[in-house]
Amino acid sequence: MTGYDLSQQLIPTFQSWINAGWDLNCHSVSHQYFVFPDAFTIQYTGTAASSVTLSIANKQFTITAPGDPSAQVSWDLSSSGTDMVPSGLDTLGGLIFTLNQRGVFSVTADPNMKSAVKSEDLADVVSRDIKNSSYLLLTDKMRLMSDEIEWSKAWINLNLTGIGGGHSTVLSWNPEANVGGYNIYRSAISGGPYTKIAGPVPDPTYVDYAVNPQQIWFYVVTALNGSSESGFSNEISATIPGSWVYVYPGSYEDTSTEAIAVAGGFAGARGSGSMDPSPNASTVLGTGVDIQNILSQGIVPNFQNLSDTQLTNKLKALVFKSAVWGVPYGIFWHVNELPAHQVGVMLDALKSSGATLMSNTQLMNYLAAADHNSGTTYFVDVTSGPDIDVRPVAGSPDVDQGAALSNEYKYDLMGIDQTQFGSGWEIGSFTYVPEILGHAR
């Protein structure tokens, strides 16, 4: 979560993880779940105002209270777009604190409200009376999720580099005679202003590692001769490859949030914590795996407080389910939600069960390289060779072992009427078709 003070303090730690090869992903700004839209309740408690009404429109928070200057409020809740550390009126926590400081309001946060939620994410309100009764303000889902998804990416772009696999820009240029070195500058805007990022460097080449996926950088170089510096060279640009991955807090996502993630430039996301209602078996078989909704299995509570053997067995079952349904699973837990040694037990169990372990970015890149179901966010794995034949043979244990059902169920998946081959019914979706000299009997 990037909307809290601790995130600022941990920037060097986060960067050290990236430098060590760890895969860091966007999670959220505040960890607010959109399924809990209640923000806070407010009521005027003063006595001087003849009436008190609250309105929110175009991110303007207005309280009109004739006769009581302490209750008059007209605040712009819009975030600046450049301040990556929300504070004061930028956040619901700051808004509530400031309102209570007026001394004429009773303001109570909902228990599920996160203090770092941006104030601009409040839903619009039209002239609500808050003198005669309290009023519950809500967050607007689309505003909330747009900020949660896109602001976290902006924060990482500002504070961290090397996301998505550690890409780089390699610069080289024709050497100049009689120079003592070169300075390298870059800008996010063509034409500048440019910021010096390196120099003096002795050779006409430089590798810029301080980049993230999807960024576009514009570079210029200057030559040095003693204390003199030349003008800027011709500008060149570089578009950084790579993928951004979003991990939804609480496994709460839906098709509307998927659209926000796509618009925000995220190649994929860890989303739902359940295969019901989707991505269920019929979805996977019919359309493939949704790269914007990878299953995200939380450790809490079903994988906690287990013996090592119990934990191993549950993880083996998870790998089996993944193989049967053809659905990749992400596993999610917070620090201290598993004993340290059971993190090792988990990894050993996954590996011994035959699971292929990937980071989030590796998984998204793998899926993105599969066959795309055009016009959707679904992908299917590439296959080769002849179609698999899953029909039973004479010795199959399901032949003639099923219950004879009504005529409504007599056709198998291939449209074959199994009553044509005796009174016994097969267990499963396919009928055993006996063959005599290459012909069906």
Q: Residue 113 in contact with residue 84, Cβ under 8 Å?
A: no
Q: Residue 183 in contact with residue 200, Cβ under 8 Å?
A: yes
Phi then psi for residue 90, to 5 deg, are: -65, -25
**Average pLDDT value for residue range 265-282:** 76
Q: Residue 77 in contact with residue 60, Cβ under 8 Å?
A: yes
- Closest alpha carbon to 186 in 231, 230, 221, 224: 221
Bridging pattern class, strands 378-380 and 435-436: unpaired
What residues does 247 pair with on adjacent strands? 270
In the chain the domains, ranked by start, together with CATH numbers, are 29-140 (no CATH), 168-239 (2.60.40.10), 245-380 (no CATH), 389-441 (no CATH)
pLDDT the model gives residue 81: 61
pLDDT the model gives residue 83: 62
pLDDT in tens, 159-212: 999 888 778 999 999 998 889 999 999 999 999 999 999 999 999 999 999 999
Report CA torsion sign: 152, 156, 158, 159.
positive
**Average pLDDT value for residue range 395-414:** 84
pLDDT in tens, 82-109: 666 666 788 999 999 999 999 999 999 9
What is this structure's pTM? 0.78
Confidence of residue 387 (pLDDT cuts 50, 70, 90): low
pLDDT the model gives residue 301: 87
